Structure formats: C-alpha cells, structure tokens
Structure 1
Amino acid sequence: MDPIELLNNQPHDPRDPDPWVALFLDRSLPMHERTKAALLVDQRSRSRQFLLPVVRPLARMYIVLFQVMKIFIPNRFTSSKWLHRLLAWGLRVWVSPEANFLILRHFHVGSEILDFIARNTKELNVPTSPIRPTNLEHVKDEIFLNHDLNLFNFVIRLNRALRDQGKTLTPPTRLDFSGVSDEFPLEELPDRWTNFLDLQSAIEVFTPVYQLFLTDRDFWRASNSLQLDETIAIYVATLLQAPGLVALVNNRHPMVPLTTLRAGFRLMLHGLSAESLHAFLVECKHGRMPQLARIVAPNFQPSSPEAA
C-alpha cells in the first residue's frame, strides 16, 4: 500500500493513538509528503523494531575491528568500484522500497541545495556536479563517494572564491529558485519478499562495508561530511536572511568531528536535515510563507513566477 494511504487510513483510537500517524499529520516543519510518509512507514517497520537493536552493536564492533585492521593494512581491500556494485546489489535485493526511495531522493535533494547556493552567488562562478539517480543501477556510478566529494569541493571552491574576491556571502537582490524541484523522476523500485530491510538497519549494515572498501581517508571524510549540515544550512540561511533555519540541523560543529561509531545514526539525521531544508526552499519557491514568517526576513523576495 502507498505510504500516504497507509497512514491516512490508520484508524484513530483515542486510548491507543498511533505515534507515527501523529508525526505524519503534524505540519510544524516543512517536508515533502511522500518522503515523510515513506520515512515514517520505514521507521514503524518490524525490521527496525526487532532487527536494528541486534544489527547496530554488531556493526559498531566491525567498525572498530576494521579500524584496527587498517592500521596494519590500510589499503589492502579498497575499491570504490566494487563497493558501489555491492551496495547496488544489496539495495536491490534486501532493502525496502521506502528506504530505497529515500536514498535515491537524497542525492537529488543534496544536489539542488548546493545548486541553490551556486545560483544565488553567480558572481563567484562556483561549479556544481549534480547527482540525479533515477534507479538503483545508478548507484554503481560511485554516487555515495562522489556525493561526499561534491560537498567538500563545493565548500572549498565557494570560500576560496569569496576570499579571492574579497567578499562575504550576502543575499542577492532577488533570489533564484529555478533549480528547486517539487518532485524527482524516480523509477519503480524493487518490492519482493526479500526487500524487508529498513533504512536504519541497512545503513548500520553497510557502514562497516563502506569502511572496509574505502581508504581510511575516504571513510573519515564521509563520516565528517555529515557535520557539514550546519555549514550548508548557514549558507542557505544567509541567502534567505532566515537565521532560524539552522535550528533544523542536528549534525553540527564540523571542526569537532565525532567518531565513526555513530555514523549510521548521524546519516539518518543528515537525510532528515537535508529534506527539511529542501522542503523549506520549495515553500519559499511557491511563496507559501505565512507559517514560516517567524524565521524568514520580512523583506524576502522570491523570484519564482508562481510566487509573484
């Protein structure tokens, strides 16, 4: 059943209210409806309830073991190409359609957030490398590794351009939302009896595999990239003159990186932060600002035709 229908049609018992339905109906934070429904259906799954508590400590144990192993043989098993082939197979065979939907959508969301910053700092000429997968075969194009590289490369290029031109990040006269999409063209995802694994369990299982097949430097960069959520949110908040946007972010303090043991949980927060930030941009694009008035400056001027 469609996740939206599943949550909407859930009967309401006042003596036993469903917490996932309550979260779905809540509109205190902007979020794409299909994405929110997929996330909550995934969170309420039996896989997350019963499998995650077993998988998580085992996965963290392997992270420690692989870290010790890489002290002695740092690059023995590294291959980003084979890693992504293995990830594509694992996603196709074992991971639920809701989780796969969230994973593929995340690359579009991240690409559009960086594109929004670049479009509204055109004088800096910062290039972007958007990643827009439409099916799980595109995972083989090393998109997880490239996603992390794109993020750090963007931060470096943006700030070098600002420094070289003697500028600071400032909002343009009129904001450009033309690169912000309401929907993404994702193909139908596998939904066989084997596709039962929830997103959090899948992340916990894949994290030590990710560590094993990547160099130590690549893995640490991937882990530390999660705390750049705060940095990217500050950029967007500066352009929108909406300082309250940073409150949507839970992965913070990139100059004090956390250990890799909690990378799986922080990756979930990373996805949530990105979705909330992108949904905020969609709301701004369409001029749906009343519910966001407290955190958006009163002189906000959208450039979208729909908001004119």
Structure 2
Amino acid sequence: MSETHYFENMAHDKNDPNPFLAVYLDQSIPFNAEAKAAYLKDCSSKTRQFLLPLMRPLARLMIILLQIYKSIVPKAFTSSKALHRVLHWGMKTFVSPSANYMILRHFYLGSEILQFIRDNVPGVQVTMNPLKPTNLEPVKDDLFLIHDLNLYNFVINLNSELRSKNIEVTKQDILNFDAITSTPIPIEPMPNRWTNFLDLTTAIECFTPIYQLFLTDNDFWRATNSLQLDETIGILASKVIGSNDRLALINNKHPMVPLSTLGAGFRLVLHGLATEQLHALLIELKHKQMKAV
C-alpha cells in the first residue's frame, strides 16, 4: 500500500491531533507526497522515539574516540570498498523500507538538481557523473563517497568555468527542465524483513561512526563539510530561477564556517530534506512553465 494512504485514511481527533498528520497535510513546503508520507511515517516509529535518544549520544561518543584514534593511527582500517559493503549489508539487514527509499531518492534527486543548474548556466561545460540508484546494489560501488565527490567537483568545476569565461549566473526566462524527473522515481521495493526496523535518523546516527572508521580523517572531514554546500546549491538554483523565497528552508548554512563532526548525522537528515524540497520546487516550476507554453 502506498504510504500516502497511511495519512490520507488517518482519522483526525480534535482532542488528540496527530502531529505528523498536521505536517503531512500542510502544503506550505514543497515536497513529493509519497516521499513526505514515507519520511513522516518513519519519523513516527518507535525506534526514533525510544532508540534514537539512546543511540545518538553513544554514536557521538564513538566519533570523539575515533577522532582521537585517527589522529594517532590515521591510515588504520581505511577502505572505501569495505565501508560501502558494510553500509550495503546494514541497509539491507536493519534499515526500514521507508528509510532506504528516502536514501536512494536522495542520490537520484541530488544528481538531477546539479544537472539542472548546469543546464541553466549558458556557456559552461561541466562534465556530470549522475548517480541514479534504483536498488541497494549500487551502494557497494562507493555510492556515498562518489556523491560527496560529485558535489565538490561540481562546485569547483562550475566556478572555474564561470571565472575563466567571465560568466555570471543569472535568471533564465525559459528554464531547461530536461534533468528534472516529474514522474515517480523508479525505486524498487526495499527489503522488509522483521530485522528492517531502523528509522532514517537512527540509522544515520549509527552509520556515521562506521563511516568515520573506514575513511581517513581527511575524507570524513570533507564529507561532513559537504553538507554546508546546501546553501551554495540553493543560491545557484535561486539565481537561475530568479527567486530566493525558499532559501529560508536551508538549515546547513555558511560553508566558510566548518562545523564539528559531532552533529553530522543530524545535519545529514537536514541535507536530505533540503534536496527533497528544492527538487519538489523545480517540479512545480516545470509544470507551471509547461502550462504557460
């Protein structure tokens, strides 16, 4: 059954209103309905309510201990291939279907947003490396690491082009929406055994120290700092769209002020939501432009 039915068929008790139903029905923030329902249902799970408060401080303690360990033995246990095989196993075995669905959507939508920006800056030539996984198998192929590298390389290559060719990112009267998929993202059904119980936020908090363990200190630092590029991508998109009304929705801000790695898990959730909101806005604009033509 579609996750939207979970909320569409939920009874409203005015004496005990469901907070997740209120957020689901609210239309002030652009968000794909199926993804929104999947995320909010995941948020209402027992693991997020009871397990997350226990796991978050333990995970952050592990980050501190690993930071000390990595400063002493910087190259120990570093293997991106091993990391992604552990992540694949963990997602397949323990993460809820809704959470896995949201994770795979993130890679898909992120790739489309970067290509949309590239397509709407005339005169630049930036090679893209889109990630569009529809099941968990691509996780084994360094999916998370490549996602971070794609983001940094896009910002560096785009701005190098802008500087060398003296190009300014400006509003486009007719936007190129070829990169933006407005039909449902073809994510395959996710594993749904009794062990697949971890909600998205708890899973991210648990996986963050694992991510740190298998990466060099430099790789982990770079990965966590990439989250603050949300504001950079939001500004680039707002320039080509000609509106910055939705920039207030971005919570991972100023990339010139590096933040502690301790909050990486929470900031990663905000990063995912910012991507969903921007992509949903682009779909809205795509439909409006199609109707206007």
For Structure 1 versus Structure 2, the TM-score category normalised by the shorter chain is over 0.9
Measured in 2, the distance between the counterparts of 1:307 and 1:115 equals: 23
How far apart are residue 171 of structure 1 and its match? 2.6
**1:213 has 2:219 as partner:** no
Gaps of at least 5 residues in structure 1 are 288-301
Q: Which residue of 1 aligns with 2:144?
A: 144
Q: Does the CA-based 8 Å contact 2:172-2:242 persist in structure 1?
A: no
Q: Secondary structure, in 3 states, of the residue corresponding to 1:184? A: coil
Matched residue count: 292
Measured in 2, the distance between the counterparts of 1:249 and 1:7 equals: 26
User: What whole-Å deviation, never above 9, does each CA across 1:104-126 have from its counterpart, x for those lacking one?
Assistant: 00001100000000111241111
Counterparts of residues 10-49 of structure 1 (less than 5 Å): 10-49=10-49
Q: Which residue of 1 aligns with 2:185?
A: 184
Whose relative contact order is higher, 1 or 2, with alpha carbons under 8 Å and at least 6 apart? 2
**1:64 has 2:58 as partner:** no
Q: Which residue of 1 aligns with 2:287?
A: 286
Percent of aligned pairs sharing the same letter: 55
Q: Which residue of 1 aligns with 2:249?
A: 248
**1:76 has 2:76 as partner:** yes
Measured in 1, the distance between the counterparts of 2:178 and 2:167 equals: 24
Measured in 2, the distance between the counterparts of 1:167 and 1:177 equals: 21
Measured in 2, the distance between the counterparts of 1:201 and 1:178 equals: 35
Moved over 4 A (4+): none
Q: Which residue of 2 aligns with 1:106?
A: 106
Q: Secondary structure, in 3 states, of the residue corresponding to 2:123? A: helix
Q: Does the CA-based 8 Å contact 1:204-1:264 persist in structure 2?
A: yes
Q: Does the CA-based 8 Å contact 2:252-2:271 persist in structure 1?
A: yes
Counterparts of residues 255-266 of structure 1 (less than 5 Å): 255-266=256-267
Q: Which residue of 1 aligns with 2:237?
A: 236
Q: Which residue of 2 aligns with 1:156?
A: 156
Measured in 1, the distance between the counterparts of 2:291 and 2:141 equals: 35
Q: Taking structure 1 as the reference length, what is the TM-score of the superposition?
A: 0.93
Measured in 1, the distance between the counterparts of 2:156 and 2:291 equals: 34
Q: Taking structure 2 as the reference length, what is the TM-score of the superposition?
A: 0.98
How far apart are residue 172 of structure 1 and its match? 3.2
Q: Does the CA-based 8 Å contact 2:47-2:202 persist in structure 1?
A: yes
Counterparts of residues 197-208 of structure 1 (less than 5 Å): 197-208=198-209
Amino acid at match of 1:239: V
Q: Does the CA-based 8 Å contact 1:285-1:307 persist in structure 2?
A: no
Q: Does the CA-based 8 Å contact 1:59-1:204 persist in structure 2?
A: yes
Measured in 1, the distance between the counterparts of 2:227 and 2:18 equals: 31
Q: Does the CA-based 8 Å contact 1:248-1:277 persist in structure 2?
A: no
